[in-house]
Amino acid sequence: MHDDIEKLKEENARLQKIIVVKSDLISITAHQLRTSLSAVKWILKMFADKDFGDINNEQKEYINKALTSSERMIAVVSNLLALNHADEPVVILEPEEVDIKMLIEDTVVEFYGETHKKNIVIEFQEPTCDIPTIQCDKDMIRVVLESIIENAIKYSNPKDKILITLRMNTENNTIIICIHDNGIGIKEEDKKHIFSKFFRAENAKKEGVTGSGLGLFITQNILQQHGGSISLESTENNGTTFFVTLPIS
C-alpha cells in the first residue's frame, strides 16, 4: 500500500512538471506570435493608409481583409496568453554563444512597421567598448527584448524616441541593456506590482492598449533562469527605463 502511494506521488509530480513546462511553452510561443502578427498588422495598415502610394479599390479591399484577419489573430493570441495559468513556469533553456549586440539590432528591425506608423524612433547607441558574446538561449532573450520594446512603443507618444544602450560591467562580469522611453511612466505605488502576473497599471489601461499583463512576468522569469535580472526606473508621465542584466557566461 505504501509503495502504491509513493508511486502515485511520483506520477503526480511528473504530471505537474509536464503541465508547467507546456504552459510556459504556450506563453513564450504566444508572445512571439503576437509580436510578429503586430508587425504584419502595422505594415498592412501602412499600405491601407496609402503611406507607400496610391492603391486601387480592389487592392484596398484585400488589404483591409488581411488587416482584419491579423487583428483577429492578435486577439486570439492575447486570449491564449490570458488563459494560460502557469503559476511556476519553467523555461527549458538551450544556451549558445550569442552576439548580444547583433541580437538587439535584429530585434529592433522587427518593429519597423509599428514605429514608422506611430512616428517613433528607436535608437540603439553603439557600445563604447567591445562587448563579448554571452552564453544564453537566443530565442528566450529575444522574447525579453521584444516584450520590453513592445511596451515602450505602446506607451510612447507619437514622435517620441526610444533609446537602447548596451554596456559591460567588468566588476561582476555582466552585460547591461537599458531600454528608455519617454512615455506614460509608472506610478510609484504600481512599481512593486509591475512584474506580477496579469498586473496592468491603471494609467496603462486608460491608454486603451490591449495587453494580458503577462509580458513582464515572463520576462523576469526568463532572466532569472539565466542568472540575470530586470529592474526599472520610472516617473509617471515622464518615461521609464528598464535595466536588463545578464551574465556573460
Residue type, 57: N
Torsion of Cα atoms, 146 then 152 then 155 then 161, to 10°: -140
End-to-end CA distance of the chain: 48
For residue 83, pLDDT over 60 is answered with no
pTM of the model: 0.70
Beta bridge partners of 123: 163
Per domain, the residue ranges of the chain are 2-83, 96-247
pLDDT at 207: 65
Please give the residue that has the higher pLDDT: either 165 or 211: 165
What would you report as the CA-atom Rg of the chain, rounded to the nearest whole angstrom?
20
Neighbours of 13 (CB within 10 A): 10
Strand ordering across the sheet containing 121-124: 121-124, 161-169, 174-181, 240-247, 229-234
pLDDT at 81: 62
pLDDT at 85: 47
Please give the residue that has the higher pLDDT: either 17 or 108: 108
Q: In this structure, what DSSP letter does residue 119 have?
A: T
Please give the residue that has the higher pLDDT: either 199 or 152: 152
Q: What rounded mean pLDDT belongs to the chain?
A: 83
pLDDT at 208: 61
Closest CA to 144 of 229, 49, 25, 26: 229
- DSSP for 68-96, please give it: HHHHHHHHHHHHHHHH---SS-------E
H runs (alpha helix) in the chain = 2-48, 57-83, 100-110, 112-118, 138-154, 202-206, 215-225
CA distance 80 to 96: 29
At 215-225, the pLDDT tens digits run 888 889 889 99
CA distance 249 to 243: 18
For residue 59, pLDDT over 70 is answered with yes
Residue type, 147: S
Mean pLDDT within 168-185:
94
What's domain 96-247's superfamily in CATH? Histidine kinase-like ATPase, C-terminal domain (3.30.565.10)
**CA distances to 166, 190, 236, 249 from 34, in Å:** 26, 25, 27, 30
